[in-house]
Amino acid sequence: MRRLWLLGVLAACGGGDEEAATPPTSAREMAVTVAMGAGATVMMGTPLVASGDAVRLDGTPSEGEARVEVEAAVSGNSLVTPPTCASYAWTGLSASITFTACTIEATGTPLSGTIGLAVTLDPASIAVTLTALDVGGETYDGSMSLTFGGTDLMVVRTWMVDLTYTPVSGPSAHYLMATEVRPALQMVIVNGTGSVTAGQVARSATLTSVTWKTGECLPSAGSLEYMDNEVGLVKITFLAATPVDGTVTVEWMGFTVTQPYLEPLLALCP
């Protein structure tokens, strides 16, 4: 099968014209799913990191202090704007947070719906549950948990992400990753490993320095690598132009093609 696929590519390319090569179908599916799955992690993860750090450093904060930190992350630091668009219903250290006519501050994308959130004090962790959360018309279901380890000098923050992404049209996709979300100057950087199910096929994937700049709803740097059953290793690189026109670069079997795979997602951007 792999040989036949290669012969077909070479024939279409006139025996070796790389510019005419057609990337595997999985490249488009993986690029879209990772952009949306990792984007949700950036959306939720960035503001909660600071609050989780505060809870961890406090050691034994009261329930009231922990609640203040979480609300500051969601409505202050902040996950959404305006601050008044989020309402909270607390029971102990668990909350139901309802978003009404909100905008995600990191990306400018509209947000509505309800999430569940639970805080654990020792060891410090924050768990988020999403049920049909509407982000710019797309929906998310699943869970994310942020845990804090390491030492004061070397804090390790890990997001375990288990999300199903459902676009306005087309099939849903599943994003399962152990992810580090690292805030930097005017940007957020995501690294992680796991699996992505797109087009009904699960594939192992690695994210390396996938970067969102503040105010941009698509990544502008970094790469995704995964194994395609027919062509082997595929690498997708996000570019400075990706948030502008959806263009990414795809590399496989010695071919390189740059195409606007993420262009349909620009409709979700402000």
User: Is the pLDDT confidence value at 187 over 60?
Assistant: yes
pLDDT in tens, 116-169: 999 888 777 889 999 999 988 889 999 999 887 766 666 677 889 999 988 877
Burial 99-137 (b: 16+ CB within 10 A, else e): beebbbbbbbbbbebbbebbbebeebbbbbbbeebebbe
Note the pLDDT of residue 77: 60
Model pLDDT for residues 194-248, shown as the tens digit of each residue: 999 987 789 999 999 999 988 788 999 999 999 998 899 999 999 999 999 999 9
pTM score > 0.85 for this model?
no
Q: Which of these ranges, 67-76, 101-110, 148-157, has the smallest mean pLDDT?
A: 148-157
Q: Predicted confidence band at 113 (pLDDT cuts at 50, 70, 90)?
A: very high
Amino acid 152: pLDDT: 66
**CA 141 → CA 37, 65, 150, distances in Å?**
11, 29, 30
Give dist(CA 93, CA 76) in Å, integer: 19
If you average pLDDT over residues 104-116, what whole number do you get? 84
Closest of 147, 112, 152, 161 to residue 132, by C-alpha:
112
pLDDT at 264 over 90: no
Name every residue whose Cβ is closer than 8 Å to that of residue 191 and which is 6 or more positions away in sequence. 179, 180, 182, 207, 208, 209, 210
Report the mean per-residue pLDDT for the chain: 83
Q: How high is the pLDDT of residue 16? A: 44
Share of the chain above pLDDT 70, in %: 87
More confident residue, 11 or 197: 197
From the number of C-beta atoms within 10 Å of its C-beta (0-12, 13-18, 19+), residue 89 rates as exposed
